[in-house]
A and B are shown apart, each in its own frame.
Chain A
Amino acid sequence: MMELGLVAAAGEVAAPLTLLTILIGVFVGIIAGAIPGFTFTMALVLAFPFTFAMGPVQGLALMIGIYIGGLSGGLIAGILLGIPGTPSSVVTIYDGYPMAKAGEPARALGIGIASSVIGTLIGAAVLFLVGPIIGRFTLNFGPWEIFSLVLFALTLVAGLSGKHLVKGLIAACLGLLISTIGVAPAGQMRFNFDNPQLSGGLSAIPVLIGLFAVSQLLVNVEESRLDTRPSGGTGAPKIRVPYRQVMRDMWHEKRNVLRSSMVGTFIGTLPAAGAESADFISYDRAKKAEKRDPENYGKGHPGGIVASETSNNAVAGGAFIPTITLGIPGDVAQAVMMGALILHGIAPGPGLFERQPVLVNSIYLSIVVAALCVLVVQTLLLPFLARVTLVPKAILVPCILVLTAVGSFAMNNRIFDIWVVVAFGIIGFLLVKLSVPLGPMILGLILGATLEEELLRALQLSDTLSTFVTRPISLTFLILAVGSIGFSLYKAHRARKTASAPRESVAV
């Protein structure tokens, strides 16, 4: 069945319109990633309404294009300006910017682009190999296992996504609370405050647009005083990638490429661990594994760029594994893609491989095509993309705010949804200021309904809570949930101890 699905998926993805959609997605993603302060997550949520008029495969192809393009696009501003286009390109700067300053910007960009493409392809290969195995395993899941799994994912996200476990848990609980607005599974109305607009609950997309697009735009308005980028009129540097040199660099770093891709893919499978964590770990491993000139790391070593860019792009393949096999988004971008699938009546999670083999295979193929599009677009349009990084935020912010308004309106043709965007934009901005991570909130919002429905189903099938601990898989997830909280508390305790130690020694 998988082989037939792969052939049918190849037919769907190879359709000219789908290929064009992926190409447009990659272009938009690269631009969103290239402009400092604008993220590809923002581009994903803004592109969401455009998928209404598309089929599920084409809609998902657009999203995958933006996702893969965005993961790679951040390297341009990072290498040329020393300002990360996306948080995941922070580590790229360590060696990319010094190499560019030393007169080799084209070589640095070439290594970055090649690493992005190879990292994406390795991540996709792992997804292709591991996804179906986990998919088959999840067929054994009943409501008890799914409930325990969602609980584990929420505790994991809360622990991983920020310095403070408490703030992560607050965010997750707020997300769960928001998900309860509207009609309960049993039929009664909750938290609608007699407002008919709230009867159907809050759509996830306006909330996502508010939290991730509008709040980030407000941060951009706040930081506009500190915009240190050169003005757009200075002209872009003439860039021609030295292909032979880049191929030699990549061959020399082949072990680094493989290791960093594996680290990226693994980190990608952990909900909300993020490409940033993968970058730091890969960079550290690459530096420690370097025998000849480790002292050049941080001064323009090709291995630094390779480690960062392969791992942050390999994250994509890994992040898709929990999304499509378990229905748990690996990051916010995956949450948006899950939203697009749900909009088309497809529920990601256990059984998806059996129900939608064509769609699942089209995900692998779209990632591969998107990786190739990244290579083509970034190589051919490098001078243009270098200019894009200099577009003034003052021009972009109002334009994107109009897009957020029109995009959220188009969901249900309701101006109320735009108010939701504004409200959650303000809430998101305040939470960012209070260092409360937004990832757990989104996961709580997206998974809240599943958590509640599966709990109710489990209690309908067996009216005792002990079933959750007598079923081995469910018990395993519950132990992992408790373990992840315990580990986060231990980490927080150790961090506090380490922080207080120097103070005590000073006092003595």
Chain B
Amino acid sequence: MILGLIFGLTAILLVRSFVAADQAVSFKGLDTFLKVHWRVPAMVAMLSVYVALLGLAGFVLSSMIFLLGGFALLIREYSKPVLIASLALATLLPFTLNWVFENVLRTVLP
């Protein structure tokens, strides 16, 4: 009964929030949003590929690939220090995390 009540209330409120004129949500700008902020869905896609890769390629390799891809996606102006920092991070961070989790927290990563 309680579950039904919760579900019913949630459904009513959800519908009401979209139907109410003063609270109407417009998705008209979705195209523009995706054109301007295409990096957001691209990052979600990359994250999904990364999670899928974790089980196949292991934590260290898939994290390196994800980090390099992520930096390539987000860095807009490359300079020598930024390039060095991103390459160093992409290499060192996965190894460091792997070491900390396996040796300090006793958790074996994929």
Across the interface, do A402 and B7 meet the contact criterion of CB distance under 8 Å? no
Across the interface, do B10 and A398 meet the contact criterion of CB distance under 8 Å? no
Kindly identify which residue among B54, B66, B104 contacts A398, using a CB–CB cutoff of 8 Å. B66
Across the interface, do A177 and B82 meet the contact criterion of CB distance under 8 Å? no
Q: A164-B23, A402-B93 are in contact. Are A410 and B51 (CB under 8 A)?
A: no
A residues 167-183 with Cβ under 8 Å of B? Answer: 167, 169-170, 173-174, 176-177, 180
Q: How far is the CB of A301 from chain B (nearest CB, A)?
A: 38
Q: A218-B43, A395-B71, A418-B54 are in contact. Are A455 and B109 (CB under 8 A)?
A: no
Across the interface, do B17 and A166 meet the contact criterion of CB distance under 8 Å? yes
Q: How far is the CB of B51 from chain A (nearest CB, A)?
A: 5
- Which of A48-56, A89-97, A127-135, A470-478 lies at the interface with chain B? A48-56
Q: A177-B7, A418-B51 are in contact. Are A53 and B105 (CB under 8 A)?
A: yes
Give Cα distance in the complex from A392 to B63, angstroms: 20
Across the interface, do A398 and B74 meet the contact criterion of CB distance under 8 Å? yes
Q: Which A residues are CB-close (under 8 A) to B85?
A: 395
Across the interface, do B13 and A426 meet the contact criterion of CB distance under 8 Å? no
Residues of B contacting A: mostly: helix
Across the interface, do B76 and A173 meet the contact criterion of CB distance under 8 Å? no
Interface presence of A345 (CB below 8 A)? no
Interface presence of A222 (CB below 8 A)? yes
Across the interface, do A410 and B101 meet the contact criterion of CB distance under 8 Å? yes
Across the interface, do A50 and B23 meet the contact criterion of CB distance under 8 Å? no
Give Cα distance in the complex from A225 to B33, angstroms: 13
Give Cα distance in the complex from A409 to B105, angstroms: 12
Q: Which A residues are CB-close (under 8 A) to B23?
A: 164, 166-167
Across the interface, do B3 and A405 meet the contact criterion of CB distance under 8 Å? no
Across the interface, do B74 and A397 meet the contact criterion of CB distance under 8 Å? yes
Q: A221-B39, A496-B22 are in contact. Are A394 and B76 (CB under 8 A)?
A: yes
Give Cα distance in the complex from A135 to B70, angstroms: 48
Across the interface, do A413 and B75 meet the contact criterion of CB distance under 8 Å? no
Across the interface, do B55 and A409 meet the contact criterion of CB distance under 8 Å? no
Give Cα distance in the complex from A101 to B71, angstroms: 34
Q: A422-B48, A422-B51, A455-B2 are in contact. Are A224 and B39 (CB under 8 A)?
A: yes
Interface residues on B, range: 35 or more
Interface presence of A419 (CB below 8 A)? yes
Q: How far is the CB of A42 from chain B (nearest CB, A)?
A: 16
| Most chain B beta-carbon contacts within 10 A, residue among A164, A180, A392 | A392
Interface presence of A452 (CB below 8 A)? yes
Across the interface, do B51 and A221 meet the contact criterion of CB distance under 8 Å? no
Across the interface, do B75 and A53 meet the contact criterion of CB distance under 8 Å? no
| Most chain A beta-carbon contacts within 10 A, residue among B43, B86, B110 | B43
| Most chain B beta-carbon contacts within 10 A, residue among A214, A399, A425 | A399
Give Cα distance in the complex from A434 to B44, angstroms: 18
Interface presence of A401 (CB below 8 A)? yes
Give Cα distance in the complex from A410 to B104, angstroms: 12
Chain A residue nearest in CB terms to B3: A180
How many residues does chain A have at the interface if contact means C-beta atoms less than 8 Å apart?
Answer: 48
Across the interface, do B94 and A402 meet the contact criterion of CB distance under 8 Å? yes
Give Cα distance in the complex from A169 to B9, angstroms: 9
Interface presence of A406 (CB below 8 A)? yes
Kindly identify which residue among B44, B51, B79, B108 contacts A405, using a CB–CB cutoff of 8 Å. B51
Q: A177-B7, A410-B101, A413-B107 are in contact. Are A402 and B66 (CB under 8 A)?
A: yes
Across the interface, do B66 and A170 meet the contact criterion of CB distance under 8 Å? no
Chain A residue nearest in CB terms to B75: A394
Interface presence of B40 (CB below 8 A)? yes
Q: Which B residues are CB-close (under 8 A) to A397?
A: 43, 70, 74
| Most chain A beta-carbon contacts within 10 A, residue among B23, B51, B81, B89 | B51
Kindly identify which residue among B13, B22, B51, B89 contacts A169, using a CB–CB cutoff of 8 Å. B13
Kindly identify which residue among B6, B50, B74 contacts A177, using a CB–CB cutoff of 8 Å. B6
Across the interface, do A173 and B71 meet the contact criterion of CB distance under 8 Å? no
Across the interface, do A222 and B70 meet the contact criterion of CB distance under 8 Å? no
Q: A398-B74, A406-B59 are in contact. Are A173 and B10 (CB under 8 A)?
A: yes
Interface presence of B47 (CB below 8 A)? yes
Interface presence of A190 (CB below 8 A)? yes
Q: Which A residues are CB-close (under 8 A) to B37?
A: 221-222, 225
Closest 9 CB pairs of A and B: A398-B70, A394-B74, A173-B10, A394-B75, A410-B107, A170-B13, A222-B37, A418-B51, A53-B105
Can you list 26 residue pairs at the A/B interface with Cβ under 8 Å? A164-B17, A166-B16, A166-B17, A173-B10, A176-B6, A177-B7, A221-B39, A222-B39, A224-B39, A224-B76, A393-B74, A394-B74, A394-B75, A395-B82, A395-B86, A397-B43, A397-B74, A406-B59, A409-B110, A410-B105, A410-B107, A413-B107, A413-B108, A415-B54, A429-B40, A452-B2
Query: What residues of chain B have their CB less than 8 Å away from a CB belonging to chain A?
Result: 2-3, 6-7, 9-10, 13-14, 16-17, 20, 22-23, 25, 36-37, 39-40, 43-44, 47-48, 50-51, 54-55, 59, 63, 66-67, 69-71, 74-76, 79, 81-82, 85-86, 89, 93-94, 97, 101, 104-110
Query: What residues of chain A have their CB less than 8 Å away from a CB belonging to chain B?
Result: 49-50, 52-53, 164, 166-167, 169-170, 173-174, 176-177, 180, 190, 214, 218, 221-222, 224-225, 233, 392-395, 397-399, 401-403, 405-406, 409-410, 413, 415, 418-419, 422, 425-426, 429, 434, 452, 455, 496
Given contacts A393-B74, A394-B74, 9 further A-B contacts (CB under 8 A): A49-B105, A50-B105, A170-B10, A173-B13, A225-B36, A225-B37, A406-B63, A406-B97, A413-B108
